[in-house]
Amino acid sequence: MTRRALPIGIQTFRTIREGDFYYVDKTGFALRLIAEGTHYFLSPRRFGKSQFLDTLAALFSGLEAERGWDWARRFPVIRLSFGGGVLQSRGELDRRILALLRKHQHALGVNGGDQTDIVGCFSGLIERAHAATGVRVVVLVDEYDKPILDNITDAATAREMRDGLRNLYSVIKDSDAHIRFAFLTGVSKFSKVGLFSGMNNLKDITVDARYSALCGYTEADLDQVFAPELVGLDRGQIRAWYNGYNWFGEAVYKPLDVMLLLDAREFRR
């Protein structure tokens, strides 16, 4: 097998597919999710959630990755990420949200004016994107709860962040008629945070055995994808060190642990 570059620190699906990087294909899971439902939540941390979200964005935007998908049909995609930086006030959060929404207004060619009301801006963006394209919208949210967790030791600020995010996410529930697919990732279980009151169509697949290998690398992934890099390494030792993660289904390896091992050739925690 041909040796390729290790995708350490790369979360962009397009970069991995178009560059000469090792790639573990999770598009089969994506197609199943799209076919079987509309609103999902996933929470395991540090297992490639952001890359999977980027894979979903690529599929809906028309980047070819898998047979069995209608590449002629593109969807308006709205992707919100709170993974970068630390927001320390409600004002900072609201400004970040509005900046993200205006970015998507421009990208989708939807004029939202100078509206500063987050609910009106977000709902208007979804409705106008649907009307302009004739296709229902895809909403992807990465690290949905990070602004709360970043301020968890300051109860007052954490509550302000929760209220601001609840304001934003209420739109997803109320815009159901305009949304084809929604996928949210985070650390804390959404039903325990109080952000989605009444949103009972958000399906948590974190511990669903059918999707236990959606994030992370399986034994087969290592053997089939990374075989050139395994030469000289003890497979049993790799398994003993890194194959201890299981969400009520197939055991998986944490991707970054595997990448660092294959790069440095040293076992580390």
Task: Tokens for 124, please give them.
Answer: 């208007």
Mean of per-residue pLDDT scores for the chain: 88
Query: Is the pLDDT score of 116 beyond 90?
Result: no
Is residue 101 located within the same domain as residue 225?
A: no
Is residue 104 located within the same domain as residue 148?
A: yes
Domain residue limits at 53:
25-211
- Give me the residue label for tokens 């669903």: 208
Task: Tokens for 128, please give them.
Answer: 């106008």
In a domain, 269, yes or no: no
Is residue 141 located within the same domain as residue 53?
A: yes
Query: Is the pLDDT score of 234 beyond 80?
Result: yes
Q: What is the pLDDT of residue 9?
A: 86
Q: What is the pLDDT of residue 237?
A: 94
Query: Is the pLDDT score of 92 beyond 60?
Result: yes
3-state secondary structure of 18: helix
In a domain, 4, yes or no: no
Under 8 Å CB-to-CB from 131, ≥6 apart: which residues?
Answer: none
In a domain, 200, yes or no: yes
pLDDT, mean of residues 119-134:
95
Q: What is the pLDDT of residue 69?
A: 58
Q: pTM for this structure?
A: 0.89
Q: What is the pLDDT of residue 268?
A: 85
The CATH number that applies at residue 39 is 3.40.50
Query: Is the pLDDT score of 101 beyond 60?
Result: yes
Of the spans 5-14, 99-108, 165-174, which averages the highest pLDDT? 99-108
How far the first Cα of the chain sits from its last, in Å, is 29
In a domain, 187, yes or no: yes
d(CA 29, CA 226): 20
In a domain, 9, yes or no: no
Is residue 51 located within the same domain as residue 81?
A: yes
Query: Is the pLDDT score of 40 beyond 90?
Result: yes
Q: Based on the structure, what is the number of domains in the chain?
A: 2
Is residue 244 located within the same domain as residue 204?
A: no
Is residue 180 located within the same domain as residue 224?
A: no
Share of the chain above pLDDT 90, in %: 60
Q: State the angle between helix axes of 49-61 and 27-36 in degrees (0 to 180), rounded to the nearest 10.
A: 70
Is residue 204 located within the same domain as residue 103?
A: yes
Query: Is the pLDDT score of 68 beyond 80?
Result: no
Distance of CA 126 to the CA centre of its chain: 19
Sign of CA dihedral 110, 27, 6, 1: negative
Task: Look at 87-91, 193-197, 264-268 and tell me which has the smallest mean pLDDT.
Answer: 193-197
Strand partners, 204: 41
Q: What is the pLDDT of residue 70?
A: 61
pLDDT, mean of residues 225-241:
94
Query: Is the pLDDT score of 227 beyond 80?
Result: yes
Is residue 107 located within the same domain as residue 228?
A: no
In a domain, 171, yes or no: yes
At 166-211, the pLDDT tens digits run 999 989 989 999 999 999 998 887 666 667 665 667 888 988 999 9
